Amino acid sequence: MKYKLLSFARQMALTLLVIWTVVSLVTLLIEFVPGTPATTILGETATAEQIANFNAKHGLDRPAFFFSISSENGFSWNGVDNRYVDYWLGLFKGDLGRSFRTDRPVLDMILERYPATIKLALASMLVAIGIALPLGVLAGTNKNGIIDNFASFIALMGISLPTFVIGPFLVYIFAVQLEWFRPTGSLYPEDIILPAFTLGAALSAILTRMIRSSVIEELGEDYVRTARAKGLSERTVIYKHVLKNGLIPVVTILGLQLGVLLAGSIITEKIFSWQGLGLLLLEDGIAKRDYRLVQGCVLVISLTYIVANSLTDFVYKRLDPRIRLS
């Protein structure tokens, strides 16, 4: 019991450290982005009075951090009267601030888009698993054969082609030429197919190689020879014994790749106009210099990544009870 409490406390401390680091880095880096929220949102024709009122309303007339450096005053200490401290005080209350552009609570805007991004990420994972599982097993059971070489070629293609190449290609083939799907949007259920295949293609390539390696490694184990000696069919040996034991490294990749999917969804959502968190971050956050919205989106993506890693650890135990997490 004591060990579990210590492990939980260590995990929570690590989580808080990651959150603090991510939010602090985003807060720091966004200050170096050219342009200001006032001129970006109000336009170049905004008067000095309008800009001053905008900055005062959103607290942008106050220092960003504990200290500031300028060519005129040099290094100056601002104390706790700064936007960085105010943001953290708001986070402790569950308040992510308000959008500079829409004046809506950032949390409400994120909750509207978050389900769409999670749905796209999960659909992409299903696509990747649906492609990689049979292809990886076939490649592993036919080592150095034609099927193995074909699977290796497909995997290499999937890894080499970025999403901004695969996405427009799928749009041209299936939306423009064949007219099976709409090129953009997220209004109808079938609109998720093209972006899910775009995101899932690269992940399926990685998983195919992982499954192939795992199957080849497990086929050389003693328990496989024992299972065959008992008269079990090759299908049973592969899918009931070999694949189960070989899934542990694959689960690792899946857990880690969820963060990659969330990051990659920014480009994919832009290509397909998928109304998710990535498009919100790119168009309404970064493009409009909406600092609070950028901070909130990155914070939620980081938390999702942490939760995914925790779930991965839990699945470890289910797949192999012998595993003990330190």
Contact present, 12 and 306 (Cβ < 8 Å): no
Sorted by sequence, the CB contacts under 8 Å of residue 158 that are 6+ apart come out as 201, 202, 204, 205, 206, 208
Q: How far, in Å, CA of 24 to CA of 46, rounded?
A: 30
Please classify residue 155 by burial: count the beta carbons closer than 10 Å to its beta carbon, then call 0-12 exposed, 13-18 middle and 19+ buried.
buried
Position with higher pLDDT, 113 vs 287: 113
Range 55-84 average pLDDT: 70
* pLDDT tens, position by position, 91-103: 888 888 889 888 8
- The mean-pLDDT minimum among 123-127, 140-144, 270-274, 289-293 falls in 140-144
Q: How far, in Å, CA of 140 to CA of 151, rounded?
A: 10
* Band (326; pLDDT cuts 50, 70, 90): very low
Cα-Cα-Cα-Cα torsion 156, 136, 118, 258, nearest 10 degrees, comes to -70
Whether residue 110 is predicted with pLDDT greater than 90 in this model: the reply is yes
Name the phi and psi angles at 184, rounded to 5: -140, 170
Range 3-10 average pLDDT: 73
Q: What is the structure's pLDDT at 246?
A: 73
Length of the chain: 326
Whether residue 325 is predicted with pLDDT greater than 50 in this model: the reply is no
Range 248-269 average pLDDT: 75
* pLDDT tens, position by position, 196-248: 998 888 788 888 888 888 888 887 777 878 878 887 777 778 777 787 777 77
Whether residue 254 is predicted with pLDDT greater than 80 in this model: the reply is no
Range 293-298 average pLDDT: 89
Q: How far, in Å, CA of 272 to CA of 6, rounded?
A: 45
Q: How far is CA 166 from the centre of its chain?
A: 18
Q: How far, in Å, CA of 137 to CA of 151, rounded?
A: 10
Range 49-69 average pLDDT: 79
**pTM: predicted TM-score of the whole model, two decimal places:** 0.82
Residue 238: CB atoms within 10 A of its CB come to 21
Whether residue 319 is predicted with pLDDT greater than 70 in this model: the reply is no
Q: What is the structure's pLDDT at 322?
A: 57
* Band (78; pLDDT cuts 50, 70, 90): low
Q: What is the structure's pLDDT at 86?
A: 85
Q: How far, in Å, CA of 78 to CA of 66, rounded?
A: 5
Range 18-30 average pLDDT: 83
Range 38-62 average pLDDT: 84
Sorted by sequence, the CB contacts under 8 Å of residue 9 that are 6+ apart come out as none
* pLDDT tens, position by position, 113-135: 999 988 998 899 889 888 888 88
* pLDDT tens, position by position, 156-194: 787 778 888 888 889 889 988 888 888 888 788 888 999
CA nearest neighbour of 30 among 265, 293, 319: 293
